[in-house]
Amino acid sequence: MKLVIFGASGPTGRQATEQAITEGHSVTAVTRHPEDFPLRHARLRVAGADVLDPAAVERAVAGQEAVISTLGVPYGRRPVTVYSDGISHITQAMTKHGVRRLVCVTSTVLFGAPAPGETFLFRAVLEPLIARTIGRTVYEDMRRMERIVSDSDHQWTIVRSAGLFDADQVSDYQVATSRLPGRFTSRADLGNALLRQATGDRHVRAFVDVRTTEGAPSFLDVMRKEALGGRK
């Protein structure tokens, strides 16, 4: 299958790219700095493009069969528009070139419901602190992106991941259309879930949660290493 991956230079994008190549797909990895992209393969094309440049996005989407977006930006106080502006350009390019399948990443926070079995401290204090203060501008733009995607006529799936961490390999992770128990998703599992969705049709026009159940770190470890860095 011909796949284009936006945000390919991020940790999740690299996971999705590498796994797709391993499975035999042809991949166009979109990054603003193609010279720094660490992967090389005969079935990989590295495209230098900014998702905020409609013409560059259109060139990357042309000829593809499915689109994966792993766009991500760090938490901060400034307004964020990368998610919504980027997905607008992506969906416009998909419409022009007749590409139907779209899979993108947001956050489990957007379910608007606590994780089953979560502690009162996390449910009532820590998660609201992250969602409404530390990550407010990021989540606001993620919501705008979700509205753009869900209002489109594409065959979309939005994957709402939990707190991200690095793992060496894909695990026996869980997928559901409602919020799952647990706080974390490994990037290996998230990359695999994105690939499964992009190459299949099980959750078309649905929001899905992905949760790692094996070897997940503690909340403090993830906050210290990952959340404040904002990496996707």
| Mean predicted confidence (pLDDT) in 80-106 | 98
Q: How far is CA 73 from CA 70, 124, 191, in A?
A: 10, 25, 17
pLDDT at 225: 59
Among residues 25, 205, 7, the alpha carbon closest in space to that of 101 is found at 205
Q: How far is CA 120 from CA 116, 128, 181, 213, in A?
A: 11, 11, 14, 21
Strand 174-176 and strand 206-211: pairing?
A: antiparallel
Q: Which residue has the higher pLDDT, 225 or 188?
A: 188
Least confident range from 18-22, 128-132, 135-139: namely 128-132
224 band by pLDDT with thresholds 50, 70 and 90 = low
Structure tokens belonging to residue 109: 């926070």
| Mean predicted confidence (pLDDT) in 87-92 | 98
94 band by pLDDT with thresholds 50, 70 and 90 = very high
Specify the amino acid at residue 137. T
Distance (Å, whole) CA 21 – CA 41: 8
Quote the number of domains for the chain. 1
pLDDT at 157 exceeding the cut of 60? yes
pLDDT at 231: 54
Q: Which domain holds residue 119?
A: 2-229
- pTM comes to 0.91
Q: What is the CATH number of the domain that holds 152?
A: 3.40.50.720
pLDDT at 229 exceeding the cut of 60? no
| Mean predicted confidence (pLDDT) in 139-156 | 97
pLDDT at 222 exceeding the cut of 70? no
Distance (Å, whole) CA 188 – CA 8: 14
Average pLDDT along the chain = 92
Q: Which residue has the higher pLDDT, 31 or 132?
A: 31
